[in-house]
Amino acid sequence: MIDLPVSFGTLWFGIVFAFLGVFLFLDGWDFGVGAIFATREDPREREQCLAAIGPFWDGNEVWLVVFGGALFAAFPPVYAALFSRHYLLLFGVLGALILRGLAPEMYEQRHDEAWHRWWGRAFVVGSVGAPLLLGIFVGNWLVGATGLALTSVVVGLAVVALTVVSGAAFLALKVRGPLREEMAHYGTRAVVAYLALVVVALAGLWTRPAFRAELLTGPALALVAVSVVLAGGYAVAIRRDRRYAALAASGGLTGALVALVAWLRYPVVDPVAGLTVESAIIGSPAVELLTVGAAILIPLVVTYFAVLYSAFSGPIDAEEAY
Amino acid sequence: MVDPVIASRLQFALTTIVHIIFPVMSMGLAPFLVYFTWKEIRTGEALYERLRRFWVKIFALSFAVGTVTGLVLEFEFGTNFAAFSTAAGELFGGPLAVEGMMAFMLEATFLGIFVFGRERVSDRLYFVSSVLVGLGTWLSAVWILIANSWMQTPRGFEMATRGGQPVVLLTDPLAAYANPRFPWMFVHMQNAAVLSVALFMAGVAAYHIYRRRHLDVVDSGNLDAEFWRTTLKVALVVLVITAPFQVVHGDAYGRHVAETQPQKFAAMEAVWETDSYVPEYIIAFPTSVEDLTDPRAKDIFGIGIPGGASWLASGGDPQAEIQGLNEFGEAPPVAIVFWSFRLMVGLGFWFVLLAFWAAYRWYSGELYEDRLLHKALMASSLLGIVAVEVGWVVTEVGRQPWVIQGVMKTDAGVSPNLTGGEATLTLAGFAVAYLGLLGLYTYVVGRLVRRGPEPALPESEREDPTVVESPEASVDD
């Protein structure tokens, strides 16, 4: 037996949301770059956008697989109930991810204008569609909606804005020249939009009696306050060209959002099926085995990412294209 | 409107059949890439740099498409097979989660370095990356096959109910995960992937050698000749090792299936009535349309080894008894299993023949002159993948009607709240999208293959690489 200060249910609830947060942050760069790509006309700049995420996006995307795998492994009934309930929504996510995953590989294969135009569009649709639909999924999960709740749609839009916040900070680090100058512009607008959308989403939650008391608890208020401070910090940092600070602030914003969702959701993992962390967690010895596996593997995975990101640290060279 | 159970099964079948192509390509290419990278770093020869760069492109493409199509499969367990996921998640979800963390992460992160980092990292880290990418692809197969083998020969669990639902509880992790089926599946699959890629490479090399006569001239500094000749030789060495091994291993694997899944074995041989001295038909002809769609070993006309199937099942006794399908009360779609099995075995023997033929030509110094051999290699370039596909059909369709052998029926595993409309819509969507995907992948790989490798980087530019773009005019010949 493993002795833990928290129950396995709570631990894995935390791990599942942590994986979701890491995915939203890391792949958020890639999604955000995809959204910014849409606004750039110059083929050279478009190539730079693709080159900036080239070595990373495969690895970043795997966090979604890991999130899904952890939810499935630790809370199989929740995975089953949640995924089958959001059937079409999740296939939408898959469609967007297929477009987003194929586009950079395909863009590269031919050098004619029509080909680039079409795969550029696929890249944009995938990069905006995936966070939008995933945000709606998370919003629905939070409020326990089975159809399409208005609040969930606002959460989806907020997640899109958040990816642009991250993407602008990331791109500012990776490119040089005029494109980099523009990032303060994109980042500031996106962070304002994000805050506005979060306020609307919170107002939406306020109308639901189940959340009113939860929203007034200390941690929820603190996370909202932290988000406001981080948003301000991000806007200042990206304008002053403090690029690492801006990236860190966008990471903090993502973390605060996911933590808020997790806090409001805990300890019920699936409100519709009435499953709590204690009723949905797998039994021993399966959960102990899973925990030992994660304890060994998570530090290893962090090491892989450290090696990858340090190998490609700093801005891309002018000649480097995807 | 298709029934949600049927639509879900068709959709899973379709998405798996398409997905498997991409992991086969990456698992099979991995050892070749490690070899090319090793040679490039050790010898510094431009030839190996070109080989590595060329085949990495196809690897990276296969990996990208494999990732998105694999994600679909992971999601489908939740969306379409919620009842299965709820019931078996405690045993089945763990390997999937560990696959993501252990294998997929390793592959995806080091692939970034392997594709983009030749000039950014040291030779040593670059070589290590190629090994880790390969290790990642193979470890992925380990965990996926641990999960799958448990569904074939479930062990180490207890049945219970939770909230009125039947669930499978893990009681003995070692029995469950060190499953008797796992080593058979893993070796067979891994070898199949390497064999398939060796056939593909040999076919592509044969195409260039066949099509372009100037490749006959090698000593006047014709770099493309050197490129394709080396590709062909490396592929043939691997083919000569993997093709016979697959047949020998497959024979032993068949015996294991007969012991642990007699129902599947009976379907592979179309044995309905329990019998002894059952022949093994090497070549089978249906004598009527009915025998094609509902084969029965007794009615098949063919060239058979008397007692062969009995011999196979028992490991050497031609008189051994084989349990017929009638004893089980239900049967998988026998025709699909029977003919897929025959196709797989037939292809396996063809690969051995091809390997020996090529080896003989190589030995007699006529490897680049035997145009019939080149044609045969070209025609066979995709047959390894076909063999993998039908092999999986035997494995998965042969297990029906069970999703977990003897524990849970497939139709009981489908999401209870799924509507026919939703399932039909996504099935149609996938049919269109995956056909497009397959067409696109074939087009892009075909184009890369026809264009051939990029010219080697001149010595002076190796330190400061730029993208080498071939003129568009030379694209399609």
Instruction: Compare CB distances from B418 to A76, A87, A290 and report the shortest one's residue.
Output: A87
* Contact assignment for B469 to A111 by CB distance below 8 Å: yes
C-beta atoms of A98 and B88 within 8 A: no
Question: What chain A residue is nearest to B97 in terms of C-alpha separation?
Answer: A69
Choose from B68, B451, B463 for mutation: most chain A CBs within 10 A. Answer: B68
Q: Could you say which of A66, A77, A319 has the minimum Cβ distance to residue B101? A: A66
Per-residue pLDDT, B360:
93
In this prediction, residue A162 carries a pLDDT of 95
**pLDDT 10s digits, B14-26:** 999 999 999 999 9
Alpha-carbon distance A192 to nearest alpha carbon in chain B (angstroms)? 33
Nearby residues of A172 by Cβ (< 8 Å), 6 or more positions away: A180, A183, A184, A187, A238, A241, A243, A246
Mutate to test the interface with A, among B11, B81, B105 (most CBs of A within 10 A): B105
Contact state of A294 with B101 under an 8 Å Cβ cutoff: yes
pLDDT at residue B258 in the model: 85
Please answer whether residues B14 and B431 qualify as being in contact, where contact means their C-beta atoms are separated by less than 8 angstroms.
yes
Question: Which residue type is seen at B32?
Answer: F
Q: What is the per-residue pLDDT for B222?
A: 62
pLDDT confidence of residue B256: 87
Q: Which amino acid is at B2?
A: V
Tell whether the model's pLDDT for residue B130 goes beyond 60. Answer: yes
As a whole-number percent, the residues of chain B with pLDDT over 70 amount to 93
Query: Which chain B residues in 399-418 lie under 8 Å from chain A, judged by CB atoms?
Result: 415, 417-418
pLDDT at position B224 is 81
Question: Are A65 and B93 inside 8 Å of each other by CB?
Answer: no
Interface test with A, best of B18, B84, B104 (most A CBs within 10 A): B104
Q: Which residues of B touch A300 (CB under 8 A)?
A: 102, 105
Encoded amino acid at B233, one letter: K
**Out of B63, B78, B465, closest to residue A58 by CB:** B63
pLDDT higher for A193 or B332?
A: A193
Two structure tokens written together for B1: 């409107």
Whether residues B64 and A105 touch (CB distance < 8 A) is answered with yes
Put simply, the answer to whether B75 touches A68 (Cβ < 8 Å) is yes
Tell me which residues of chain A have a pLDDT lower than 70.
Answer: 1-2, 317-322
Query: Does residue B282 carry a pLDDT above 80?
Result: no
pLDDT band at residue B474 using 50, 70 and 90 as cut-offs:
very low
Instruction: Tell me which residue of B230, B200, B201, B235 sits closest to B218, measured CA to CA.
Output: B230
Interfacial B residues in 216-245 facing A (CB < 8 Å): none
Whole-angstrom distance, CA of residue A32 vs CA of residue B325: 57
Kindly tell me if the per-residue pLDDT of B213 is higher than 60: no
Q: Does B120 touch chain A (CB under 8 A)?
A: yes
Chain A residues closer than 8 Å to B462 by CB:
none
Place of tokens 């023997």: B349
Handedness of CA B220, B222, B223, B228 (dihedral sign): negative
Handedness of CA B284, B287, B293, B298 (dihedral sign): negative
More confident of the two residues B29 and A3: B29
Interface test with chain A among B5, B101, B123, B476, by most A beta carbons within 10 Å: B101
Separation in Å, CA of B172 to nearest CA in chain A: 8
- CB B25: neighbour CB atoms within 10 A? 25
Lowest mean pLDDT among A168-172, B277-281, B382-386, B442-446: B277-281
Share of chain B above pLDDT 90, in %: 43
**Chain A residues near residue B101 by CB distance under 8 angstroms:** 66, 69, 293-294, 297-298, 301
Q: Which chain B residue's Cα is nearest to A69?
A: B97
Q: B180-184, B282-286, B394-398: lowest mean pLDDT where?
A: B282-286
Task: Inspect the interface and report whether the beta carbons of A94 and B75 lie closer than 8 Å.
Answer: yes
Contact A91 B79 (CB under 8 A): yes
Are the Cβ atoms of A77 and B65 closer than 8 angstroms? no
State the ipTM, two decimals: 0.89
Instruction: Say yes or no for a CB contact (<8 Å) between A58 and B64.
Output: yes
Q: Which residues of A touch B169 (CB under 8 A)?
A: 283, 286
Q: Cβ distance A58 to A189 under 8 Å?
A: no
Sort out which chain A residues have CB atoms less than 8 A from B26's CB and list them: none
Nearest neighbour of A72 by CB, restricted to B69, B97, B165? B97
B108 vs A62: CB contact, 8 Å cut-off? yes
Over residues B336-361, the pLDDT tens digits come to 898 899 899 989 999 999 999 999 99
**Alpha-carbon gap, residue B27 to B190, rounded angstroms:** 7
Residues of A in contact with B91 (CB under 8 A): 286
- At A44 the pLDDT is 84
Q: Give B96 to chain A, closest Cα distance, Å.
A: 6
Crossing angle of the two packed helices A8-39 and A87-107, in degrees rounded to 10: 50
Which residue of chain A is at minimal alpha-carbon distance from B475?
A110
Question: Is A65's CB within 8 Å of B102's CB?
Answer: no
Q: Report pLDDT digits (tens) over B51-83.
A: 999 999 999 999 989 988 989 999 999 899 988
Whether B159 has its CB under 8 Å from any CB of chain A: the answer is no
- What confidence score (pLDDT) does residue A284 get? 85
Average pLDDT over residues B195-204: 96
A-B contacts (CB, under 8 Å): 234
Give me the residue from B104, B117, B437 closest to A55, CB to CB: B117
DSSP conformation class of B325 = G
Question: Could you tell me which of A146, A145, A173 has the C-alpha nearest to residue A48?
Answer: A173
Who among A61, A79, A301 is closest to B101 (CB)? A301
User: Model confidence at B29, in pLDDT bands (50, 70, 90)?
Assistant: very high
Is the confidence at residue B219, as pLDDT, over 80?
A: no
Chain A residue numbers touching B117 (CB-CB < 8 A): 55, 311-312
Q: Which of A133, A177, A121 is closest to A157 using CA atoms?
A: A133
CB atoms within 10 A of CB A147: 9
E strands in chain A:
268-270, 275-276
Candidates A62, A146, A275, partner chain B, best to mutate (most B CBs within 10 A): A62
Q: Which residues contact B436 (CB under 8 A, 6 or more apart)?
A: none
> Residue B261: CA atoms inside 13 Å, Cβ hemisphere, count?
31
Which residue blocks in A240-276 are alpha helix, DSSP H? 243-265
- Nearest C-alpha of chain B: how many angstroms from A260? 25
pTM for the whole thing? Answer: 0.89
Cross-strand partners of B404: B408
Which residues 41-80 on chain B approach chain A with CB closer than 8 angstroms?
Answer: 60-61, 63-65, 67-72, 74-75, 77-80
- The pLDDT tens digits for B367-407 are 888 889 999 999 999 999 999 999 999 999 988 888 888 88
> Rounded distance, CA A97 to CA B336, Å?
33
Question: For residue B470, what pLDDT is reported?
Answer: 40
In this predicted structure, the answer to whether residue B475 has a pLDDT above a threshold of 50 is no
Quick check: B116 and A283 CB within 8 A? no
Q: Compute the mean pLDDT over every residue in chain A, rounded to the nearest whole number.
A: 89
CB B301 within 8 A of CB B268: no
Q: How far apart are the first and last CA of chain B?
A: 46
